[in-house]
Structure 1
Amino acid sequence: MSGPLSGLRIVEIAGLGPTPFTAMVLADMGAEVVRIERPGNRHLLGLSYDILNRGRGFVPLDLKSGAGRGAARRLIARADGLIEGLRPGVMERLGLGPEDFPENRRLVYGRMTGWGQSGPLAQTAGHDINYIALSGALHAIGPAERPVPPLNLVGDFGSGAMYLAFGMVCAFLEAARTGRGQVVDAAISDGTAHQMAMIQAMAAGGLWSQAREANLLDGAAPFYRCYACKCGGFLAVGAIEPKFWAEFLRLAGIAEAAMPAQMDRDRWPEARARIAARIAERRRDDWAQVFAGSDACAVPVLTLAEAPAHPHNAARATHVVHDGVVQPAPAPKLSRTPGRIGEGSQTRPLEIGALLDRWGA
């Protein structure tokens, strides 16, 4: 395995959403990740191929049995890191908590939850929509009528998995200096609040209204929203800077002098209506050709099926075909030790004895 994290050994306790994504990200960057799954509990999402499980194998272990816990314990005792997303206290009750490995002082123990390891809600159930709701982010997303869940990108993946991956890499770096690991308590609610730093600052400075669809970046501004095209597709416009706004209007065939001033918020509805009428005159792909290669900050809204074939994505190999499935390539791109998708099998379990021998456990 190549990549900047080559040489790191990580045990993943199988779960949904943010924990397998964290494991995928670390495996893409070269870490050797082994997933522990409950016997017979394959494909938790009902998928025959789960992209989140790529690049690593699994061992079927029943952690409710003494033998299963013993095997897991021997693996974790030799690992550099562990990823788990169970409710607080579950791993401790299994005898696999962070204090149960005094012989492995370098262990980085990554814990992924919605509410965190402490606090009044720590033991309660929830999902992405709940965590981003209490963090203030969900209220700001969507049309004026109601908040709209932004898939589970903001919570599970952006505020959960990526924060856990970042926290674990930070802890690996610190452990390399001190020889001591630590617990990474990654809460989706914390990460979401952290991601709202810029919006929080704008609100504190009086530049962000608590109302939805009334602000610079939430679809209210005529220069930062999506417009429907004649074919039913959409054009995404992000022409914030005045020179980009002027270029957008020029290429769209709209006289800037006849439009309200760009930052005249009282006339934003009028500006939106005029642009919407113009964009509705042509098909999405026609507009894409008009704006291609310009600084108008206007691009077509592509479907999941269309995105891999876009010339820019294709040129950067943003998507790859692996195991016969189109999927995103490892990111970000490193110049000297780039990540790659490993050859771990999703369908064939690893032989636990051979794995323990190889890990020296």
Structure 2
Amino acid sequence: MTGPLQGIRIIEFAGIGPGPFCGMMLADHGAEVIRIDRPGGFMDPRDPLSRSRASIVLDMKNPDAVQAARDLCKSADGIIEGFRPGVMERLGLGPEVLLADNPKLVYGRMTGWGQFGPYSQAAGHDINYIALSGVLHTVGRAGEKPVPPVNYVGDFGGGGMMLAFGMASALVHAAKTGEGQVIDCAMTDGSALLAGMTWGFLAAGRLKDEPGVNLLDTGAHFYDTYTCSDGKFISIGSIEPQFYALLREKTGLDQDPSFDPQMDPSQWGPLKDKLTALFATKTRDEWCALMEMTDVCFAPVLSLAEAPQHPHNVARETFLTVGGATQPAPAPRYSATSNDAPRPAPAVGTDSNAVLAAIGYDASRIAILRESGAVR
């Protein structure tokens, strides 16, 4: 592997959602990520979250498999696990054990509610975590119920990406000091942090504690999506005065005095009605011809099928093909290092022998583990 994390080994205990996303990010940027899968597990070669891994199958009900996992962690710089608090401890693979084996180990723990707190042992999903952090309350139209932003904010932004940042930070600390540590990454905490600007606006009196009535939550007529005559959509984000003036010019509204009080919330509703009617008079392509690549702060709303074909995304190679499927490319980019092209997710367990051999297990020991069912 190449990339800024070249030479870093991460052991990933198989999970869903944010844990694999963190593993994907670390692998994308050069880390060797070895995934410990369960018997009967599956990785789809088209799945971006499972790309660029090695896979070993260990049956954690077998003590020999637990020992093999422990030996793998001795060889690693970091681990990622996403079980409920206490599960790894019951397996004999808790932080106390693994950090005693490997004092430089960075032990990344990914949960929804965190390692402690009244909710810590309860089940949950993204929608619940961002509900408790206050984020879900801010997403939606005025007077309507909150709208879950898929699972981008809890699972991936506040979870997997936050853990990847924590792992990278702790790996830097370990390289400098020789000291490993445990990362308690909770999606409630991470999603709350993603809303930092919102909390700042609230404290400054620049935001109402209700959705759909504020500058950036579809309350304003100049920051919203609109339907075109062909049923497709465009996005407008003309906040700054010069951008707003250009929007008015491009739409022929520069002589309409009703659009002068841009920042008067009492006028946003009527002005939005006017823009809604106006944007419905042309197709999306016609609006693109007028405003795309200008300082209006405009972009067409593209479908998942359309986005990889857009000239800007093509020029930047924002998407690529891995395992026969379109996937987002690794991000961000570096000036001094380059990342390998992602590899398709392997068949589960395909690397079991090679992974164990790399940490010193000889062929006879591997054969014994396979005969006992510890390794599949």
| Offset at residue 342 of structure 1 (A) | 4.0
Equivalent in the alignment of 2:152? 153
Q: Report matched runs for 1:14-53 at 5 Å.
A: 14-43=14-43, 47=44, 49-53=46-50
Equivalent in the alignment of 2:130? 132
| Offset at residue 286 of structure 1 (A) | 1.2
Alignment equivalent of 2:85, drawn from 81, 85, 88: 88
Equivalent in the alignment of 1:163? 162
Residues 213 and 345 of structure 1, relative CA distance in 2, 3 Å threshold: closer
Alignment equivalent of 2:66, drawn from 66, 69, 76: 69
Give the aligned residue type for 1:160.
Answer: G
Task: Check conservation: 1:246, 1:256, Cα contact below 8 A.
Answer: no
Give the aligned residue type for 1:118.
Answer: F
Task: Check conservation: 1:330, 1:340, Cα contact below 8 A.
Answer: no
| Offset at residue 114 of structure 1 (A) | 0.2
Equivalent in the alignment of 1:209? 208
Give the 3-state SS of the residue equivalent to 1:58 in structure 2: strand
Counterparts of 2:323 and 2:354, CA distance in 1: 25
Give the aligned residue type for 1:143.
Answer: R
Give the 3-state SS of the residue equivalent to 2:7 in structure 1: coil
Counterparts of 1:343 and 1:137, CA distance in 2: 35
Note the residue ranges of structure 1 that are not aligned, 5 or more in a row.
none
Q: Does 1:299 align with 2:296?
A: no
Q: Report matched runs for 1:1-361 at 5 Å.
A: 1-43=1-43, 47=44, 49-101=46-98, 102-144=100-142, 145-260=144-259, 261-343=261-343, 345-347=345-347, 349-360=349-360
Greater Cα shift, 150-159 or 54-63: 54-63
Counterparts of 1:99 and 1:256, CA distance in 2: 70
| Offset at residue 306 of structure 1 (A) | 0.3
Describe the superposition over 1:117-159 as per-residue Cα deviations: whole angstroms up to 9, x where unpaired: 0111110000000000010110000112110000100110000
* Percent of matched pairs sharing the same residue: 50
Task: Check conservation: 1:108, 1:181, Cα contact below 8 A.
Answer: yes
Give the aligned residue type for 1:127.
Answer: H
Counterparts of 1:320 and 1:269, CA distance in 2: 41
Counterparts of 2:234 and 2:342, CA distance in 1: 37
* TM-score (ref. length: structure 1): 0.96
Counterparts of 1:110 and 1:138, CA distance in 2: 26
Counterparts of 1:39 and 1:224, CA distance in 2: 49
Number of corresponding residues = 358
* TM-score (ref. length: structure 2): 0.92
Give the 3-state SS of the residue equivalent to 2:36 in structure 1: strand
Give the 3-state SS of the residue equivalent to 2:243 in structure 1: helix
Counterparts of 1:345 and 1:294, CA distance in 2: 40
| Offset at residue 341 of structure 1 (A) | 3.4
Counterparts of 1:280 and 1:359, CA distance in 2: 64
Which protein has greater RCO, CA pairs closer than 8 Å, 6+ apart? 2
Give the 3-state SS of the residue equivalent to 1:237 in structure 2: strand
| Offset at residue 191 of structure 1 (A) | 0.6
Note the residue ranges of structure 2 that are not aligned, 5 or more in a row.
362-376
Task: Check conservation: 1:128, 1:156, Cα contact below 8 A.
Answer: yes
Task: Check conservation: 2:13, 2:80, Cα contact below 8 A.
Answer: yes
Counterparts of 2:63 and 2:302, CA distance in 1: 51
